[in-house]
Structure 1
Amino acid sequence: MSAGWHPPAQQLIGCDSLAAWLGGRSERRVTVLADPAVAAAPVTARILALLAGEEHRTTLLEISGSGDLASVTALAARLADSDLVVGIGGGSLLDQAKLATLLRTNPDAHARLTVPQRSGLVVLGPGTRHGLPLVAVPTTVGTGTESSAVACLAYPGEGKRLVMGSALRPRAALLDPAATATLDDELVAEGVLEALHRVISPYVGDRADLPTEDALVETIAERLVLLGHEVAAARRAGRPTGDALRLEIAKLSSLSHAEWAHLGRDLYAVKGWLIANEMSSALGVRKMTAVAAILPHLWRAILDGETRLGSEVRLRRLWARLRATAPDVLPEDPAAGAEALVDSWGIGRALSAGPGPLAQIAGRTVRAWGAGLPMLGGLRTDDVYGLLAKAAAA
């Protein structure tokens, strides 16, 4: 693929579809990257079996950790003899796979990732070539990184930065319920919330009405909420989430990154996501704990007229549709409704942090995403601190 725009990841449903996809390709030297937790799992065994035989020379590497520039650079070197990479794991492993395959074919990208800067966002140049072909097999739901053009990269002492560029998109995303068979039901519920938050944040945060794009987002969001209710019902009944349910969630998680859903939107209409990520990293809590804690207060601020965070009209319109999925459970007020939704899904939102740590998080957030940078849209440290303090006090 030449430099410039790169197509979305091809969606493969079920491991057997990988055989047909491989049959149309010329790559023979394959490296399978697997999280140690799934290296011996049935899904990995099935993929290795599909790659067995004279057609492919296959190597299995177990990869752990969150990944920083040194580790992904070292991984890229280990892929020197590979024509194709298959990554099997959660968001952290797949992000490492995306960055390592990028560096394998784009040595100059290393310099871009090491440019001194305070911004939390690293944008790859338009001339960045597609990385080594990657098939991403997610063992979690929610991140959708198997289809996205972004990856998180840890910087020692600085937290994580978001690397963005279409060259990061995998060539294919393989979705199979066998890959998520052992996923804890609480994490399945959090995965639904993560995908929902991702798809509705640009919708609410951008004040422009775009009929086709709005309809797509509303449909995806409504479907996610319905599936979230199913997960919650299964948990209350003591039943595991079934294969079909997890597959549908995985499909929508991947679809939440579709360009059509966000076409024409303000790239930085996701301020709550940025703040929640900083909170999660600084306090050492799961991302969805931070999102669940801050979302009601973010929406309350919008309802109170804080236009820098989003549109009250669009929030109320979207919430009316989502509330219709469970009108007896979800309040009409969107902010109260957000609390009720995450509580009904059994997602924790309790945080513990005092004024000092919260002030540090607010300052760090503004330094990475605001104070002259466009991502926070003019929000100041006091504005961010106010949201954090309400989230931690809930």
Structure 2
Amino acid sequence: MSAGWHAPAQQLIGCDSLGAWFTGRPERRITVLVDEAVAAAPVTARIRALLPGDRYGTTVLELSGPGDLDTVAALAGRLADTDTELIVGIGGGSLLDQAKLAALMRTNPDAYARLTVPQRSGLLVLGHHTRHGLPLVAVPTTVGTGTESSGVACLGYSGLGKRLVMGTALRPRAAVLDPAATATLDDALVAEGVLEALHRVISPYVGDHGDLPTEDALVETIAERLVLLGHEVRDARRAGRPTGDRLRLEIAKLSGLSHAEWAHLGRDLYAVKGWLIANELSSALGVRKMTAVAAILPHLWRAVCAGETRLGSDVRLRRLWSRLRATDPDTLPEDPAAGIEALVDSWGIDRGISAGPDRLAEIAGRTVRAWGAGLPMLGGLRTDDVYGLLAGAAAA
């Protein structure tokens, strides 16, 4: 097997299946990285019970906060000090991203230098021959990010905001999806998770102009299923019922599928411009990622429908929206932009952005520096174009 080939994360349903997975592994020195918010949660106790002291040498490290380059490097050092052979990460997207990056640094001494090379780009791509990090088992306690299955991680930089690190070497070896891990997740965050997975799977579909019959059909099916599950979350919240285990598990499974390679085969690598703009907006204003996405998305779709081909295909957007609208035609307008706005509102997701013209202009400039102005990610969008989307989002 070549150094550049990395298998997709093995999906394990339930903690019990993890016990069988451990049985076939040679590692004995294991570090459990757990978000301090869930350190005392039942799922953490359940995972630790699978690592008895007479068989494993286990170290538990509790983490808090999003972390940055320096804290991730320090974490890699702690993994070296304990001679860790395998990592179990229990927490949300932020913790799992830190675990992925620390695992990478532990086996790639030059990774720190690669991540600190001065550059303005918001994207750091790892080479195909980057060695896989320490084996990582990801146990997500949130839904939506799908980072437990992906080769992408967010990393904070002082004064620069978040940057995306991409490479198959970052993929966890296994992802454990267990409703017990999301049992205490606020229902509003479950709704946000559905939107996050939906946005991830449909953005390349809308942003790319080429028809790919098989891939398009798969994306349309996943997107429709996610919208139906989002309606279930909405209905449960309106009725004052908690989201059930089955519902959260289905959302988690689809979130992981949204990262599958088949969803992106043959598509423009940079057909996700709305995500890049929303990422900068979220980071600059300190608002929730899905608040930024929900604020930007209707205006981006309005521009696509008006013929802004750099942002996507009007024909493909209308075709997809026709199918998604059919899930609730009495609530969702026929126009895609008005429709996604109504969908977000019906799911109870905040899309309020507050910023003045000067601040928005600053964010637009920052976005173009990180992703455009000669870099390919924004596809020729200029500062004025980005500012227009941001101004529309803030005025909504």
TM-score, normalized by length of structure 1? 0.99
> Residue 166 of structure 1: which of 154, 165, 168 is its match?
168
The 5 A counterparts of 1:1-394 are 2-80=2-80, 81-394=83-396
Task: Map Cα deviations across residues 63-88 of structure 1 (whole Å, 9 max, x no partner).
Answer: 11211111111101111111110000
% of aligned pairs identical?
85
Structure 2: distance between partners of 1:107 and 1:75: 13
Moved more, 310-319 or 72-81: 72-81
Which runs of 5 or more structure 1 residues have no equivalent in the other structure? Answer: none
Structure 1: distance between partners of 2:348 and 2:371: 31
| SS of residue matched to 1:8 | coil
CA contact (8 A) 1:2 1:130 kept: no
CA contact (8 A) 1:14 1:174 kept: yes
- 1:5: how far off? 2.3
Structure 2: distance between partners of 1:319 and 1:5: 36
Which runs of 5 or more structure 2 residues have no equivalent in the other structure? Answer: none
Task: Map Cα deviations across residues 36-86 of structure 1 (whole Å, 9 max, x no partner).
Answer: 010110000000001114221111110112111111111011111111100
Task: Map Cα deviations across residues 230-253 of structure 1 (whole Å, 9 max, x no partner).
Answer: 000000000100011000000001
Structure 1: distance between partners of 2:67 and 2:126: 18
Structure 2: distance between partners of 1:157 and 1:278: 12
- 1:2: how far off? 4.2
Structure 1: distance between partners of 2:159 and 2:208: 33
Task: Map Cα deviations across residues 178-232 of structure 1 (whole Å, 9 max, x no partner).
Answer: 1101100000000000000000000000001001110110010000000000000
Structure 1: distance between partners of 2:53 and 2:162: 40
Q: 2:379 is aligned with what amino acid?
A: G
Size of the alignment, in residue pairs? 394
Structure 1: distance between partners of 2:40 and 2:84: 22
Task: Map Cα deviations across residues 251-297 of structure 1 (whole Å, 9 max, x no partner).
Answer: 00111000011111111000000001100111111011111111110
Structure 2: distance between partners of 1:19 and 1:379: 49
Structure 1: distance between partners of 2:121 and 2:392: 26
Structure 2: distance between partners of 1:362 and 1:261: 29
- 1:127: how far off? 1.4
Structure 1: distance between partners of 2:346 and 2:161: 32
Structure 1: distance between partners of 2:321 and 2:120: 36
Structure 1: distance between partners of 2:152 and 2:2: 19
| SS of residue matched to 1:146 | helix
Task: Map Cα deviations across residues 317-345 of structure 1 (whole Å, 9 max, x no partner).
Answer: 00000001001110111000011000110
Structure 1: distance between partners of 2:160 and 2:199: 25
| SS of residue matched to 2:149 | coil
Structure 1: distance between partners of 2:157 and 2:284: 14
Structure 2: distance between partners of 1:13 and 1:277: 30
CA contact (8 A) 1:119 1:367 kept: yes
CA contact (8 A) 1:134 1:170 kept: yes
Q: What root-mean-square deviation, in Å, do the aligned CA atoms of Structure 1 and Structure 2 show?
A: 0.7
| SS of residue matched to 1:79 | helix
Moved segments of 4+, more than 2 Å = none
Structure 1: distance between partners of 2:373 and 2:75: 35
**Change over 3 Å in CA distance of 1:73–1:2 after alignment to 2:** farther
| SS of residue matched to 2:87 | strand
Q: 2:302 is aligned with what amino acid?
A: R
CA contact (8 A) 1:2 1:129 kept: no
Structure 2: distance between partners of 1:294 and 1:73: 34
Structure 1: distance between partners of 2:218 and 2:269: 18
Structure 1: distance between partners of 2:351 and 2:154: 23
Q: 2:28 is aligned with what amino acid?
A: R
Q: 2:347 is aligned with what amino acid?
A: W
